[in-house]
Amino acid sequence: MLRSFFSAILMGLSSLAVAPPEARAEQVSVFAAASLQEALSDVISGFEAASGHEVVASFAGSSALARQVQYGAPADVVMLANVNWMTYLQERGLLQNERGKSLFGNGLSLVVPVSSEATLEQADVAELSQILNSGRIAMALVEAVPAGIYGKEALTSLGLWDTVQPNVVETDNVRAALALVALGEVSAGIVYTTDAMVDDRVRIVAQFPADSHSEIVYPAAIVAGQDRPEVVEFMTYLSSQAAQDAFVQRGFLVLEEAQ
């Protein structure tokens, strides 16, 4: 009887030893450019459903996010709107192994409140100048935030920056510029094309030529020391067909590097 008792214990221990471990749900922290809010939120929902992990996202201007990472903010992944800010982090040894992978692209548009009578019939510089000089123009910070940097590049390329500059109202990020237009606080604004698609209080009157500014791309990278399995899994998911479809539905371009 004693032998049977010990046999039962051994069988129980054996069954415990071979039982497969349960997958643990982990948390991933993502710092992302403000213009990615809707598309990345869609992607996060898909990733959470597929993986069981939780993703906490913080959205702001790329310059602010880069400096937060520099000062030690608890980010696992950064996804910015400008390669220069990603290079800034890489040069300080703050990214895991590489500068990052550019996954998605965007365009740059001039938007006005839906109530505005502004039109651009001939799509020439003279008409564009007339709209830009009809009142205040909202732009993200032109020396720091990518949307503002691209906007200044476009206006400079078209020979309009010097005349438009006095009318520019600078904001901390592109969504703040969009909000000023939507609220009618300014006569126009320069934002990403995808931003104009998320607010029905604005409409696009012109899209800036792609060759008038640097290519608008969104590089993503893992923060140094944060390459945990769930973080790597999220980065891999960003290149998946499901993630690409989510971005395309929000008006973004899928870059060749992401495929």
| Model confidence pLDDT, tens digit, residues 233-243 | 999 999 999 99
Q: Give pLDDT, residue 2.
A: 45
Spelled out in words, what is the top-level CATH class assigned to the domain 108-212? Answer: alpha beta
Checking if the pLDDT of 86 tops 60, the result is yes
On whether the CB atoms of residues 172 and 142 are closer than 8 A, the answer is no
State the average pLDDT for the chain.
88
Domain boundary assignment for the chain:
27-105+216-258, 108-212
Per the rule left: phi > 0, alpha: psi between -120 and 50, beta: everything else, 93 is left
Q: Give pLDDT, residue 126.
A: 85
CA–CA separation, 20 and 182 (whole Å)? 54
On whether the CB atoms of residues 61 and 149 are closer than 8 A, the answer is no
Question: What number is the average pLDDT over the span 247-259?
Answer: 83
Grade residue 13 by pLDDT with cuts at 50, 70 and 90.
very low
Please give the share of the chain, as a percent, with pLDDT higher than 90. Answer: 75
Checking if the pLDDT of 22 tops 60, the result is no
Question: What number is the average pLDDT over the span 54-61?
Answer: 95
* 27-105+216-258 and 108-212 in the same fold: yes
Checking if the pLDDT of 154 tops 50, the result is yes
Give the count of beta carbons closer than 10 Å to the beta carbon of residue 124: 9
Q: Give pLDDT, residue 122.
A: 56
Checking if the pLDDT of 244 tops 50, the result is yes
pLDDT in tens, 88-105: 999 999 998 765 688 899
Which residue, among 145, 254, 123, 241, has the nearest Cα to 190 in the 3D structure? 145
Checking if the pLDDT of 9 tops 50, the result is no
Indicate the CATH number for domain 27-105+216-258: 3.40.190.10
- Neighbour-count burial of 167, counting CB atoms closer than 10 A to its CB (0-12 exposed, 13-18 middle, 19+ buried): middle
Question: What number is the average pLDDT over the span 130-159?
Answer: 94
CA–CA separation, 104 and 148 (whole Å)? 18
